[in-house]
Amino acid sequence: MNKFEKLLEPYNIGPVKTRNRMIKTGASTLYWHEDELHMNKITLAFYEALARGGVGLVIVESPTIDYPSSSRWKQIYRLDDDKYIEGMSELVQVIHKHGCPTFMQMVHLGPWQNPLFSNEPPISDEPPVGASPFKLDSPGDFHHDLIRELTIPEIEGITDKFASAALRAQKAGFDGVDINAGSTHLMHNFLSPFWNRRQDAYGGSREKRARFLSEIIKEIKKRCGKDFPVIVCMNGIEIGWTIGIDDSQCMTVEDSRGLALLLQEAGADAIQVRNQWLGYHVGGFLPDYLFYPEAPIPFKTFPREYNSSHRGAGANIYLAEGMKKTLSIPVIVVGRLSPELGEKVLREGKADFIAMHRGLFSDPELPNKVAEGRLEDIAPCTQCGTCLDQSIQMKRRCRTSAATSTEKYTVDKAEKRKKVVVIGGGPAGMEAARVAALRGHDVTLYDKKSKLGGLLPLAALIKGVELEDLPGMVRYLKIQLNKLGVKIRLGREVDASLIEGIKPDVVIVANGGILTVPDIKGIDNRRVLTTPALHRRVKPYLRIFGPRVLGWLTKFWLPVGKRVVVIGGGIHGCETAEFLVKRGRKVTIVDTAEEMGEGMIDFRLGLVMDWFEKKGVATITGVKSMEITDKGVAITTKEGDRQTIEADSIMPAVPLAPDTGLVKSLEGKAPEVYAIGDCGQPRMIVDAIADGWEIGNKI
């Protein structure tokens, strides 16, 4: 029996036969724009990579079906008019040419606040719309604006728009559609008794709350034919206790199963199951982030139908199992599912399909590699949340896969084989060596340290490995370098004379940045633990124990005082503070910057700031001056007040500085010399990997 026999087995949704039981969800990429009439190259490349990679079914993200009410971004293709059909058909063609079926998702974001984020302009002047007038003032939610109640004629109009979009999808060549009634979108707003407080034909009883969505399904079947499949993505449970709402007022497990039965009767061909926590929007669709920085409620109080045993992995398994016992149509489960866990779920009969997004985002070839038994070659998702980062033109990027959000996912063989020397075994250097070797070059990687990974082990210690799998990234890259025949020379420091002796065609310098000490009066005080000093202390223990075990040990003993001032409120400072608070320290963060969290992904910053407030972490920004004394840190606030923050330990957490000395010394020593990663411009891990990918493809 094949290890993944069930996962690789074809199955059906309605009359559509999938290649296997792995489904790419309809999560958005924002590679589109509302002004486009044709598919751009980035969108085509992304979806073709998925189809080529062997996934059983691709669900394409939702276009705007009710402009502008149903959208909150301009980076969305439209399908509210027939003129957009031709462009959508271009996308279908690149998916179908690889023998992969594809459905189109449809979603309406009507109840969400407008604008969605304070730093973005509103999509229109229209207020949010939904079942009932209501808003939720929770920092982790999208319902800060009062919802305007839809009239019955407006409900009927939206039903028509869903059905019209489905018909256009069919004309474009899609094999079916997927209605997103999960999260807190418009359809869930009507399904949920918490949000839907109407007393008319569309609210009150379970049947009335399901009426809107049921009518949409029936109208789609009427226009597109009964053999045109409709998947419904819905919440298997809605939990309110996290913000003080009795769960009985929300969509309970029993209610959700009853609603799913009504949707099945209306004509739904499959149900995808997820969950929703009031006030914790991201934790519903990225279940691991429900536990970041910590679980919002004690583990023992989690609903028994929610699988909290693996901190988000397989969170919806029990919910799907309950649905499968209730329904006769296929059940799809989603939520941080690895191939191994997915196979187990299928064999135990808890679901019929395994849906994933991030695993395919980081490696579109995952299904092919599973089929070929090459699990060690799957580029891992590190759960970093970069795929929700909206800082660079809103395009979704991936830390592990630098090809994501580009026009090309394949690596071409070089016209001429070159001798390549890579200096530095951090993420930039390892990725550059990997890609250069894939292109056929003769690659040797040098690192003065005894292990590969650069500063990733230290980062893994501070970040923790419960959420972000940085050790997995290092392990994957090491395996690839060994498989590709890259010669690895550890414990070897490179200088100009060594390069002159080797005579390479290309030198790629990726020796990292410099750990810095801020220029603050009193920085030499015995209470201060600078980043370079911390690294020197930790390095030997990291070599022995690794970040996972060492992180666990620091919960029992840590040579840091009980009261700590962290200097620096950017990503390094916030992550250091989180590390310390989880180990029982009372932390104050001070920074000269006006805003906290520079370098952090916005949703992660929101989660950690909310957690800081609950944990009593003081954050003082806009500081005019600071001095370290024997008592702590004396500061002048932005209001001009002087105060001393008493501390037993003081930890500056500031960004790296560039280290350009080596690359300058090597100029002219080889025909091609490049600097990548932090040695040239210190940034994030995603940028280091992107540098390595780019230069590896260039040489």
Judged against a pLDDT cut of 70, whether residue 1 lies above it is answered with no
Residue 114 sits in a domain whose CATH number is: 3.20.20.70
In 135-175, which residue ranges form alpha helices assigned H by DSSP?
152-172
> How does residue 220 score in pLDDT terms, banded at 50, 70 and 90?
very high
Judged against a pLDDT cut of 90, whether residue 120 lies above it is answered with no
Dist. CA 341–CA 266, nearest whole Å = 32
Q: What is the mean pLDDT of the chain?
A: 96
pLDDT digits (tens, 9 = 90+) for 10-66: 999 999 999 999 999 999 999 999 999 999 999 999 999 999 999 999 999 999 999
Residue 477 sits in a domain whose CATH number is: 3.40.50.720
* Stretch 480-495: mean pLDDT: 97
> How does residue 393 score in pLDDT terms, banded at 50, 70 and 90?
low
Provide the domain limits for residue 467.
419-514+658-698
pLDDT digits (tens, 9 = 90+) for 333-382: 999 999 999 999 999 999 999 999 999 999 999 999 999 999 999 999 99
Supply 116's token pair.
């969605």
Judged against a pLDDT cut of 80, whether residue 458 lies above it is answered with yes
Residue 636 sits in a domain whose CATH number is: 3.50.50.60
Using the structure block, give the residue that is written with the tokens 């909290």. Answer: 308
Torsion of CA 639, 644, 646, 648, to 10 degrees: 100
> How does residue 403 score in pLDDT terms, banded at 50, 70 and 90?
very high
* Stretch 123-140: mean pLDDT: 92
- Please tell me whether residues 195 and 279 are part of one structural domain: yes
- Please tell me whether residues 577 and 499 are part of one structural domain: no
> How does residue 138 score in pLDDT terms, banded at 50, 70 and 90?
confident
Answer positive or negative: Cα dihedral of 254, 257, 258, 259.
positive
> Quick check: is 414 in a domain?
no
Using the structure block, give the residue that is written with the tokens 């009795």. Answer: 246
* Stretch 558-576: mean pLDDT: 97
At residue 627, the pLDDT reads: 97
- Please tell me whether residues 198 and 307 are part of one structural domain: yes
Spatial neighbors of 307 by CB under 8 A, at least 6 apart, are: 314, 315, 316, 317, 318
At residue 699, the pLDDT reads: 97
- Beta-carbon count within 10 A of 490 CB: 13
- Please tell me whether residues 491 and 573 are part of one structural domain: no
> Quick check: is 401 in a domain?
no
Supply 207's token pair.
């049947």
Using the structure block, give the residue that is written with the tokens 């849906």. Answer: 355
Judged against a pLDDT cut of 70, whether residue 402 lies above it is answered with yes
> Quick check: is 228 in a domain?
yes
> Quick check: is 55 in a domain?
yes
* Stretch 102-114: mean pLDDT: 97
> Quick check: is 528 in a domain?
no
> Quick check: is 314 in a domain?
yes
- Please tell me whether residues 16 and 160 are part of one structural domain: yes
Q: Is the peptide bond before 298 cis (omega within 30 degrees of 0)?
A: no
Strand order in the sheet with 642-646: 625-628, 632-636, 642-646
> Quick check: is 409 in a domain?
no
The pTM of the full predicted model, rounded to 2 decimals, is 0.96
* Stretch 545-574: mean pLDDT: 97
DSSP state at residue 471: H
φ, ψ of residue 650 to 5 degrees: the values are: -130, 125
Supply 297's token pair.
């409620």
Judged against a pLDDT cut of 80, whether residue 272 lies above it is answered with yes
Q: Is the peptide bond before 540 cis (omega within 30 degrees of 0)?
A: no
- Please tell me whether residues 638 and 684 are part of one structural domain: no
* Stretch 187-209: mean pLDDT: 98
- Please tell me whether residues 670 and 689 are part of one structural domain: yes
- Please tell me whether residues 281 and 376 are part of one structural domain: yes
**Residue-wise burial string across 578-595, b where 16 or more C-beta atoms lie within 10 A, e elsewhere:** bbbbeeebbbbbbbbeee
Judged against a pLDDT cut of 80, whether residue 394 lies above it is answered with no
pLDDT digits (tens, 9 = 90+) for 526-538: 999 999 999 999 9
- Please tell me whether residues 664 and 648 are part of one structural domain: no
In this predicted model, which residue has the larger pLDDT, 123 or 498?
498
DSSP-derived pairing of the beta strands 176-181 and 102-106: parallel
- Please tell me whether residues 571 and 676 are part of one structural domain: no
At residue 435, the pLDDT reads: 98
- Please tell me whether residues 684 and 617 are part of one structural domain: no
- Look at residue 555 and give its three-state secondary structure: coil
At residue 644, the pLDDT reads: 98
Quote the number of domains for the chain. 3
Least confident of 203-212, 383-392, 535-544: 383-392
Supply 666's token pair.
């090597």
Supply 84's token pair.
């957009």
